[in-house]
Amino acid sequence: MRNIALKLMYNGTAYHGWQVQKNAVSVAETLQKALVRVCGDAEKLTGCGRTDAGVHAEHYVANFRTGSRIPVERLPFAVNTHTPEDIAVSAAYEVPDGFNAIGSCRKKEYTYRIYNSHVKNPFYVNRAYFYPKHLDEAVMDRAARAFEGTHDFRAVRSVGTETRTTVRTIYYCYVNRSGDLLELRVCADGFLYNMVRAITGTVLYAAEGKLAAGDIPRILASGNRTLAGPTVPPGGLYLTKLWYEDERLNG
């Protein structure tokens, strides 16, 4: 059995996240069906992480095992003929048997996009969070940077998948603006359930004057979810970068 890693991207609007669901369409299920049609078999499809319903991925890695001898360079085109337009495989590589898309991933970057204009933009529906009141990106950036470092992030996670520890390391977290589009970019060694969306909601609270950047260390130390900001909608969230020892998979 060969172990194949895929680089792909998807618009998550139509899906109930990456993970296979019993009663909802997921990205993994849709991709698995396409792989079976191309390879005849496709076992143990593993993604680099869970993305929630409506969340997008500009860069995603998954791996699977197959007995098919189809050349890896032909896989992307073949698979893409059997996937909807909102899922696209860009590259495929044969990887060592011990490679695992989630376990071998060293760090990830998520980007949350906010369309900050008094007039809504139809082209950003389900692709950015529309926020009509002007936001001060300098205030937001100061609040975002307060999350950097190694902390217990219980205060910015939703109840969901249980984890062994809620301590994570954020390597960078910052906000920048390009015209009406604001982006919060955060890179960490791992993320808790809804962590990025809760961080973004807390940064928005800072912009609204409901808390200050200096309050964030205290909020994190408390572990109290009610002290942080709300969980913002999923449509503005994208998985944007991944880091692996195998540099072919980075992006």
One domain for residues 112 and 99? no
- pTM listed for this prediction: 0.95
In the prediction, which pLDDT does 22 show?
A: 83
pLDDT tens per residue, range 153-206: 999 998 766 778 999 999 999 999 999 999 999 999 999 999 999 999 999 999
∠ Cα 88 94 100 (to 5°): 80
Domain at 52, CATH number: 3.30.70.580
One domain for residues 64 and 97? yes
User: Which of 104, 124, 152 marks a domain boundary?
Assistant: 104
In the prediction, which pLDDT does 164 show?
A: 84
One domain for residues 47 and 160? no
User: Which of 58, 78, 104 marks a domain boundary?
Assistant: 104
One domain for residues 113 and 235? yes
Residue 126's domain comprises 107-241
In the prediction, which pLDDT does 167 show?
A: 96
In the prediction, which pLDDT does 5 show?
A: 98
Do the domain assignments include residue 68? yes
The C-alpha atoms of residue 88 and residue 83 are separated, in whole angstroms, by 7
pLDDT tens per residue, range 199-250: 999 999 999 999 999 999 999 999 999 999 999 999 999 999 999 999 999 9
**What domain count does the chain have?**
2
- CA nearest to 83, candidates 102, 67, 104, 62: 62
One domain for residues 111 and 100? no
- Tokens found for residue 1: 């059995």
The C-alpha atoms of residue 197 and residue 157 are separated, in whole angstroms, by 9
Do the domain assignments include residue 187? yes
In the prediction, which pLDDT does 161 show?
A: 66
Do the domain assignments include residue 130? yes
One domain for residues 6 and 93? yes
The C-alpha atoms of residue 135 and residue 131 are separated, in whole angstroms, by 8
Catalytic residues: 52
One domain for residues 87 and 155? no
One domain for residues 95 and 160? no
The answer to whether 9 and 57 are in contact (CB under 8 A) is yes
User: Which of 69, 104, 139 marks a domain boundary?
Assistant: 104
Q: What percent of the chain has pLDDT over 90?
A: 92
Do the domain assignments include residue 246? no
